[in-house]
Amino acid sequence: MTALTESDARDLIAKVLADIAPEVDLDGARPDGQLQEELGLDSMDFLNLMIGIHDETGLTVPERDYPALSTLDGAIAYLAERTA
């Protein structure tokens, strides 16, 4: 698996979200706010985000780790760390 820098991780999230929730403005979201609330995503969207990340990178995010990805900052840090 290719290592992702924080900037790569952010781009990855943006890319996957573009197919799930194209209306989302990642730049307008508070990076430490709750991702779903900030971006107007529901649980299905979040699940699809995890599936999309898997499809793009091969990385499986176990359910247990979902809380770590509940903010944009958290998700970026998590992806960078898991692919390091």
Partner 1 sequence: MDPTVTMDQPSEVWGRARRALDGLPDGRGLNIAHEAVDRHLGTDREHRVAIRWLGVRGAREDLTYGDLAERTSRFANVLQDLGVGAGDPVFALSGRTPLLYVAALGTLKHRAVFSPLFAAFGPEPVRTRLRIGRGRVLVTTEAQYRRKVAGLRGDLPDLEHVLLVDVAADAAPEGTRSLPALLDAARSTYEIGPTDPEDPALLHFTSGTTGTPKGAVHVHEAVVAHHATGRLALDLRDGDVFWCTADPGWVTGTSYGIISPLTHGATLVVDEGEFEAERWYGILRDQAVDVWYTAPTAVRMLMRAGADLAPREDLGRLRFVASVGEPLHAEAVAWGRDALGTPIHDNWWQTETGGIMVANGPGQQIRPGSMGRPLPGVDAAVLALDDHGELRRDGAGELVRCDPDETGELALRAGWPSMFRGYLDQDERYARCFADGWYRSGDLVRQDADGYVWFVGRGDDVIKSAGHLIGPFEVEKVLLEHPAVVEAGVIGVPDPVAGEVVQAFVSLAEGRHPSDELRRELLGHARGRLGPAVAPRTIGFDQDLPKTRSGKIMRRLLRARVLGLDEGDTSTLEVAR
Binding site for partner 1 (CB under 8 A): 18-19, 21-23, 34, 36, 40-48, 63-64, 66-67, 70
- The two tokens of residue 14 are 């943006």
| Closer by beta carbon to partner 1, 4 or else 38 | 38
Q: How many angstroms separate the CA atoms of 33 and 53, rounded? A: 20
Decide whether 7 or 18 has the Cβ nearer to partner 1: 18
Q: Which of 46, 52, 55 is nearest to 74 (CA)?
A: 46
Residue number with CB closer to partner 1 (35 or 76) = 35
In the complex, the smallest distance separating the C-beta of residue 65 from partner 1, rounded to whole angstroms, is 9
At its nearest, how many Å lie between partner 1 and the CB of residue 23? 4
